[in-house]
A and B are shown apart, each in its own frame.
Chain A
Amino acid sequence: MTGTKVLAMLAATALATAGCSSADPASSGPVTVTYWHGYNETGEELQTLRDVVIPAFEKAHPNIKVKQVPFPDEALRQKVLGAAAGGELPCLLRSDIVWVPELAKLGVLEPLDAKLKDFDALAKRTFPGPLETNKYRDKYYGLPLDTNTRVLMYTPAALKAAGLEKAPETFEDVRAAAAKLKGSPVKAFADGGTDGWNLLPWIWSAGGNLLNPELTKASGHLDSPASVAAVQLLVDLRNEGQLPDIMLGGTGGTPTDEGIAKGEYLSTLDGPWTFPIYEKQFPGVTVATSKMPAGPGGSVSVVGGEDIVMTKSCPDKEAGGEFIRYLLSDEAQLEMAKVGQMPVLADLGARLTSIKPYYGIFVEQLKTARPRPPVPQYKKIESLLSQHVSEALKGTVSPKQALTDAARAIDAVLAQD
């Protein structure tokens, strides 16, 4: 009877597999530092980390082995949370900057300022904005590893077609560009959502803010006249048909990079990672950059990137600290810069821009760029901000009303802590 035979065969296989659960052989000798990250499997960053950075470190530290483990970037958060809940975190983690306060609050991270004797020296060399993302309740739980920010991107061709001399440098210029483009199919500005990442550059540049400096409430800041003016600018653009639907966060529309390349959008805010994408996807298109358009509050953009953190379950914190030091060294930072990962060291100067000239504008913008508020509830806060501002963009409520409602809801979330 075939069915039975197949079943028996399969059962035998099952038993065979049962023996497969292998335990790592107890290793004496060099200590191992396990390092989780979300670099793309086929990307150059992983290649450089694996083939250049780690071998160089191991050569200089023969008693330490680094085991780097890539996870799908999209799934890294879920992986980390599961491991945190089970007490199974690795020694080091390349963490999205907004997770750090969250993980610190859970109590799974080592405060690096206490753990590394030379923390201050390391920290001093990094950009202030990225460094702030590691702070939770007066302690630093990590160090910036790589950074980026958003600057205005456009093509000279689109600028010319719109009859503009230069890219918008101020809020007024943005309004003027929109007025010029009125009636044409080209949108003056495009962005892919209403998250903090998208909105905060406008709010900060307008002189507004999301939270108070103590990070305890939004009322009085998010609903201030300056913040309202920023959202009002976006709502005006939207009403003039100068801000596409993708701003509402839906998928399926023309993404910003494609829209810029094809001349459908005049400008967008984006980071350094887009240059290789333009090069590969839209060869022949020249993309130019300028700083975030300035408002009454100046030209203030938002800090992106990743931090390096050490977990409490790190078996050898000395060795882990040693690898952190190396990752923040000129050598490692410049190696990674060659493959598109922007360094966090503020003083690299020409050594950086000689690798990729386009880093220059980001270095410039980073001088004033700010991090999204480092609070554990950030994701929740951001979702409230996004929801309410979407309503304003759809025209169902006024910007003032939307931000007042958002501020009140955010206050409640912050009060729960």
Chain B
Amino acid sequence: MSVRDDRTTRRDPLVYLVLVAGLVLTITPFLVMISTSFTDQSLVLELPPKLLPADPTTRNYTDALSSSGFALYFANSAVVAVATVAGVLLLSSMMAFAFARFTFPGKSVLFGALMAALMIPGMILILPQFLVARDLGLIDSRLGLVLFYIGAQLAFITFLLRGFFQSVPKELEEAMELDGAGPWRVYWNLMLPLSRPALATAAIFTFLGAWDEFAWALTIINDPDKRTLPIAIALFQGQYSTSWGLVFAASVIAVVPVIVIFVFFQRHFVSGLRSGALKG
């Protein structure tokens, strides 16, 4: 099990075998989902289940896309998620830098507080958070979504980045300091560029967290025009019956941007260290 990524291992059939086998298990549920999303509702619970719909229809997609406000919810989700990613990356990377590179009084306590926030079930905080949001005048605003999404993800991303920052070699930093660079320049010009895989990972996670969030969006948003996608999808579930085809079609649509973000950011999984910084 080599971690090398050079040419000698390129055509290892066993690797493909394992990967494809795993892939079958991984994507079969999706195939069911996609197949269902192209199936007319009366056929949904069919035995045996079919991976290819016998009589495919795109009606669920056209229904989902044309249902009131779907495009708007989509845009709201995108704006909120991107703003959350920006906020979290900036604030968390600064905190992670402090935790990774400095010793200072109160460090363990502050770090412990962050960790505790990672562990407490977010659901129980909803009522107290709602009161904070109300006092800040953030009920029914997208800013209220962004601010609390940032808060909810800060701890996790700080924890993630701290580890990566710790591994950036001291020598680079010392070299910069000898040139007269202060900590802010070290952070901005050295730490961030060298941590591209970590920041990409953080961006992927943060985007997903905000894109997917349901409970908080349900709680503080009243105005239908400010709703996000998870709420819109939940609206397809009825009191007595659910249009599975519609729910799955909407979910397939919702997955697309996250995959795009993933493909975009995973290009940065080439280490800043590996791409020559150490040798350069």
Contacts and interface: CB of A to CB of B under 8 A. Distances in A.
Interface stretch (A10-18, A112-120, A129-137, A372-380): A10-18
Given A2-B268, A3-B193, A70-B224, A40 B130 contact: no
Contacts of A14: 82-83, 86-87, 90, 146
A121 interface: no
A86 B144 CA distance: 15
Contacts of B237: 40, 72-74
Given A73-B238, A283-B42, A13 B82 contact: yes
Given A3-B193, A73-B239, A78 B218 contact: yes
A72 B234 contact: yes
B235 A277 contact: no
Interface in B190-209: 192-193, 195-196, 199-200, 203
A3 B134 contact: no
B118 to A, nearest CB: 23
A55 to B, nearest CB: 16
Contacts of A58: none
Contacts of B239: 38-40, 73, 273
B251 interface: no
B194 to A, nearest CB: 9
Contact of B268 (A3, A18, A277): A3
B240 interface: yes
Contacts of B144: 21
Contact of B79 (A17, A78, A281): A17
B155 interface: no
Contact of B146 (A17, A273, A282): A17
A71 B218 contact: yes
A83 B130 CA distance: 8
A281 B42 contact: yes
A282 B93 CA distance: 56
Contacts of B203: 6
Interface stretch (B24-32, B50-58, B135-143): B135-143
B238 A7 contact: no
Contact of A86 (B90, B134, B199, B223): B134
A1 B192 contact: yes
Most chain-B CB neighbours within 10 Å: which of A22, A41, A42, A82?
Answer: A41
Interface string A101-145: 000000000000000000000000000000000000000000000
Chain B interface secondary structure, helix, strand, loop or mixed?
helix
Nearest to A70: B235
B253 interface: no
Contact of A85 (B130, B220, B224): B130
Most chain-A CB neighbours within 10 Å: which of B144, B196, B239, B268?
Answer: B239
Contacts of B236: 40-42
Interface range on chain A: under 10, 10 to 19, 20 to 34, or 35 or more?
35 or more
Nearest to A75: B218
B41 A21 contact: no
Nearest to B142: A20
A18 B136 CA distance: 14
Interface in A75-96: 75, 78-79, 81-83, 85-88, 90
A219 B98 CA distance: 63
B184 interface: no
Contact of A281 (B41, B142, B219, B235): B41
Contact of B192 (A4, A12, A82): A4
Interface string B36-54: 0000011011000000000
A85 B127 contact: yes
A43 interface: yes
Nearest to B234: A72
Contacts of A281: 41-42, 44-45, 241
Contacts of B139: 86, 88
B193 A40 contact: no
Interface of A: 1-4, 6-7, 9-14, 16-18, 20-22, 34, 38-43, 69-75, 78-79, 81-83, 85-88, 90, 258, 273-274, 276-277, 280-283
12 contacts: A4-B188, A17-B83, A20-B142, A21-B142, A21-B143, A40-B236, A42-B238, A73-B238, A78-B219, A82-B130, A85-B127, A88-B134
Closest 8 CB pairs of A and B: A10-B86, A40-B238, A21-B141, A72-B234, A41-B235, A1-B193, A14-B86, A21-B143
